[in-house]
Amino acid sequence: MAVLTHTFQPVYDENSRILILGTFPSVKSREMQFYYGHPQNRFWKVTAFLTDSPIPQTIAEKKAMLLAGHIAVWDVIASCEIRGSSDSSIRGVVPNDIAGLLDQTGIRAVFANGNKAYELYEKYCEASCGLRAVRLPSTSPANAAWSLERLEESWGGACRAYLG
């Protein structure tokens, strides 16, 4: 297991209304130096659905879509021990300063992309943030039980009220 540090910044601005949290960047995301880098992860399709946007291709397009849609993205973990991209292998968690980010924005709701992100937020961040997270089904390709259509329906039902 390697001890790794998160090396790229959250995406947000003063107009962000919701924060979507992952756990820690996958191997592919670490290679790309940006969120949800695995080509089979459905995150960008789901957020394009939420914002009624075309699916972004470049990092610049992804950032622009998120910010235009008032969506902030970050991960719960600043550093940890992890094997590959396996959330189940995560140990020695040092959380990001999510409360500090919330203080700089108009974020009104926190959403966790999957069970592990939810559990980590609840354990390490919820008390200092003062906001309960909403657990959403993971967009990871490992969550094959959820089709893209089901993900869009679930995420849309939870997030759209905060984005309007």
Q: What are phi and psi of 133, to 5 degrees?
A: -90, 155
How many whole angstroms separate alpha carbon 44 and alpha carbon 123?
Answer: 27
Smallest Cα–Cα separation from 125: which of 15, 5, 19, 6? Answer: 19
**Spatial contact of 50 and 71, defined as CB atoms under 8 Å apart:** yes
Catalytic residue flag (residue 115):
no
Q: What are phi and psi of 162, to 5 degrees?
A: -90, -15
Q: Which among 41, 96, 113, 143 is annotated as catalytic?
A: 41
Task: Kindly give, in sequence order, each residue whose CB lies less than 8 Å from that of residue 100, ignoring residues fewer than 6 positions away.
Answer: none
**Spatial contact of 79 and 94, defined as CB atoms under 8 Å apart:** yes
**Spatial contact of 143 and 154, defined as CB atoms under 8 Å apart:** no
Catalogue the active-site residues. Answer: 41
